[in-house]
Amino acid sequence: MRLFVVLTAILPTMLAVHFPTSDYLQFHLNVADIKVQVQLGVMSRCPDALLCESRFNEVLDKVADKVELSFIYVAKIDDNEPDFGVWCMHGAEECAGNVQQLCVHKYAPFLNWWEFVKCQNYQGRENIGKPEIALNCAQTAGIDWETGGPGVCAGLDGSGKASEGVARFRRSVILGHELGITKSCTVLISGNAVCVHDGTWKDCENGHNVNDFVRQIEEEHKRLNKPNSFSK
């Protein structure tokens, strides 16, 4: 009986000592790594967007394992626009390109989506949004367009006019308005605008070169994954 009482008294202390806390596990074993949310406010046919995406292709070469990259589309909700209910600065085919990219991002692995975007850009911005370019780039990027999610979302014909994709596009545009994004390309890290390319780089307090973005992402990644027990 006495042994039982002693074990009951010391067992909580033994467990606390011998079983590591979640902070300890994250610090030592990199458990539940939190990635940095990087968003680019873009228009798919905008030359500033293509330049920005090219810059981030180099950034991803260095920190792809630390980021989750996505696009927010810069446009205006206009219910009088027949196909998308959105006005795009570079025309309806830009709206289609936006939808195509959104749908591939939703349903394809990240690397396939990024290859799809790079393929579209390589064809020249005047061709982004064309159905045949979307279908060809899907094949190039290893994306199952016909039987996978991207085709159903954007349209099996590659038009970008299917209802799911259009709805996603409208939500993206609304999100951009809520975040105050008005320029393509706007770079956001963890929801904060850190740089803009609008003819030239602007409002880039912490720099706009590849290494500048890499440094900011690494600093944010370190901050997000710093265990509470080691931050005091």
Q: Each residue of 74-98: pLDDT tens digit?
A: 999 999 999 999 999 999 999 999 9
Give the pLDDT mean for 198-224: 97
d(CA 232, CA 229): 6
**Token match 């009482």: residue?**
5
Predicted confidence band at 175 (pLDDT cuts at 50, 70, 90)? very high
pLDDT of residue 5: 43
CA–CA distance, 86 with 174 (Å, rounded to integer): 10
Mean pLDDT across 184-193: 97
Specify the pLDDT at position 85.
97
Task: Kindly indicate the confidence band of residue 21, based on its pLDDT and cuts at 50, 70 and 90.
Answer: very low
Please tell me the predicted confidence (pLDDT) of residue 130: 98
- Residue 196 scores a pLDDT above 80: yes
Angstrom distances, CA of residue 125 to CA of 91, 128, 167:
12, 5, 23
Share of the chain above pLDDT 70, in %: 84
DSSP 91: -
Instruction: Give this prediction's pTM.
Output: 0.84
Mean pLDDT of 116-138: 98
pLDDT for 25 beyond 70: no
Cα 119 versus chain centre, distance? 17
For residue 15, pLDDT beyond 60: no
Q: How high is the mean pLDDT of the chain?
A: 89
On the question of pLDDT at 18 being above 60, the answer is no
What pLDDT was estimated at residue 28? 46
Per this entry, what is the length of the chain?
232
pLDDT for 31 equals 55
- pLDDT level of residue 148 (50, 70, 90 thresholds): confident
Q: Alpha carbon of 173 to those of 95, 129, 222: distances in Å?
A: 11, 17, 31
List domains and CATH numbers for the chain.
Answer: 44-218 (3.40.30.10)
Report the pLDDT value the prediction gives residue 227, as an integer from 0 to 100: 82
Long-range contacts of residues 213-219, Cβ cutoff 8 Å, at least 24 apart: 213/55, 213/56, 213/59, 213/187, 214/59, 214/62, 214/63, 216/189, 217/36, 217/38, 217/59, 217/63, 217/66, 217/67, 217/189, 218/63, 218/66
